[in-house]
Amino acid sequence: DAKTTQPTSMDCAEGRAANLPCNHSTISGNEYVYWYRQIHSQGPQYIIHGLKNNETNEMASLIITEDRKSSTLILPHATLRDTAVYYCIVRVALSGSARQLTFGSGTQLTVLP
Amino acid sequence: GAVVSQHPSRVICKSGTSVKIECRSLDFQATTMFWYRQFPKQSLMLMATSNEGSKATYEQGVEKDKFLINHASLTLSTLTVTSAHPEDSSFYICSAMQGGGYGYTFGSGTRLTVV
Query: Which three-class secondary structure state does DSSP give residue B49?
Result: strand
- Residues of A whose CB is below 8 A from B99: 95
CB pairs under 8 A between A and B: 56
pLDDT (tens digit per residue) in B16-42: 999 999 999 998 888 889 999 999 999
For an interface test with A, the pick among B26, B41, B106 (most A C-beta atoms closer than 10 Å) comes out as: B106
User: What is the rounded average pLDDT for all residues in chain A?
Assistant: 92
In this prediction, residues A49-58 reach a mean pLDDT of 94
In this prediction, residues A14-30 reach a mean pLDDT of 95
Q: In what order do the strands lie in the sheet with A18-23?
A: A18-23, A70-75, A61-64, A55-56
Q: B103 and chain A: CB distance < 8 Å anywhere?
A: yes
Q: How many residues does chain B have?
A: 115
Residue B10 pLDDT class (50, 70, 90 cuts): very high
- The burial class, CB within 10 Å (0-12 / 13-18 / 19+), for B6 is buried
User: What is the rounded average pLDDT for all residues in chain B?
Assistant: 92
Listed in sequence order, the residues at least 6 apart from A5 whose beta carbon sits closer than 8 Å to its beta carbon are A22, A23, A24
Q: How many residues does chain A have?
A: 113
Q: Is the pLDDT of residue A1 over 80?
A: no
Closest chain A residue to B1 measured between Cα atoms? Answer: A46
Residue B52 pLDDT class (50, 70, 90 cuts): confident
